[in-house]
Amino acid sequence: MRPLTASYESWIGREEERTERISVHAVETMAATLDLESSPRLGDALPPGWQWMFFNPAVPRRGLGVDGHPRRGGFLPPIELPRRMWAGSRIRYLADLPVGSSATRKSRIQKVENKVGKRGSLWFVTVQHTTQCEGVDCIVEEQDIVYREATPPGAATPAPARHDDVAQWGREIVLDTTLLFRYSALTFNGHRIHYDQAYARNEEGYPDLVVHGPLTATLLQGLAMEHGGGRALASFEFRGVSPLFVSHPFRVEGREGEGGTLVLWARGPAGELAMSASASFR
């Protein structure tokens, strides 16, 4: 690991706080986006993963970079590597977050690390988000954000290995451009790889529009709830492994693990591991 520059090191320990109402309308629109038959009502617990609709910074359009993300700097360190993505999270669900309540999310930068991968420099930023309602900690999440070099034009992409774990249950998912657009809007995510096909292909080298990592993680949490015996989630963690693309069918699958836990994953259209995850219950 390379030493931090003084400017990046100074970001460790930075904090910010946002307060927002867990809007009934926002919850209804997420349920419609996911094509669910019903939506949580006022006072019901917010479903796991749906917290990512809230507390997102309202950056003016003039404050965005060419990729649609907010320009470098502000709360997060101004790392100038061109590609930025959400690599994974470790989440603890401590108490229900009621729909319609006012909640506060306190964020703190825990780590900034530099590593060298096969394609150059990588920076990892770990942020802890604590969401509270009426002074009670409801959700604590450690979120990993990775910054990396751009993939050189024409560079060969290694084929991902097949994922051979055997599922006890699962289902096929096919996401269209409308769903990706709606999810971007609900989470106020301007990253162009999710809605601008020409940019995704020509600038970032993807074959098609990219499915949001947190959307896949939300689908996996929904699958966990279906097979959790009516219990509430206590913890969920996920790691993105390889991208999924719009209109390319993939599967969310899982099996029972040890001690009442569930082992979960998203399997891409070629059988590759796209996301790994695990869940436990309270």
pLDDT tens digits along 130-162? 999 999 999 999 999 999 888 766 666 667 778
Mean pLDDT of the chain: 93
Say if CB 105 and CB 18 are below 8 A apart.
Answer: yes
Model pLDDT, residue 1? 45
Extract the runs of DSSP E, i.e. beta strands, from the chain. 15-21, 83-93, 102-117, 120-133, 136-148, 169-173, 233-240, 250-256, 262-267, 273-281
Residue 192: helix, strand or coil by DSSP? helix
Does position 4 have pLDDT exceeding 80, yes or no? no
Starting at the edge strand found earlier in the chain, the sheet holding 136-148 runs: 15-21, 102-117, 120-133, 136-148, 83-93, 233-240, 273-281, 262-267, 250-256, 169-173
Does position 6 have pLDDT exceeding 80, yes or no? no
Model pLDDT, residue 80? 83
Does position 124 have pLDDT exceeding 70, yes or no? yes
The residue with tokens 């506060």 is: 104
- Mean pLDDT on 57-85: 88
How many angstroms separate the CA atoms of 282 and 278, rounded?
A: 14
Say if CB 27 and CB 99 are below 8 A apart.
Answer: yes
For the domain covering 6-281, report its CATH number. Answer: 3.10.129.10
Of the candidates 210, 165, 207, 202, the residue with the CA atom closest to the CA atom of residue 184: 210
Entry pTM: 0.93
Say if CB 91 and CB 139 are below 8 A apart.
Answer: yes
Does position 7 have pLDDT exceeding 70, yes or no? no
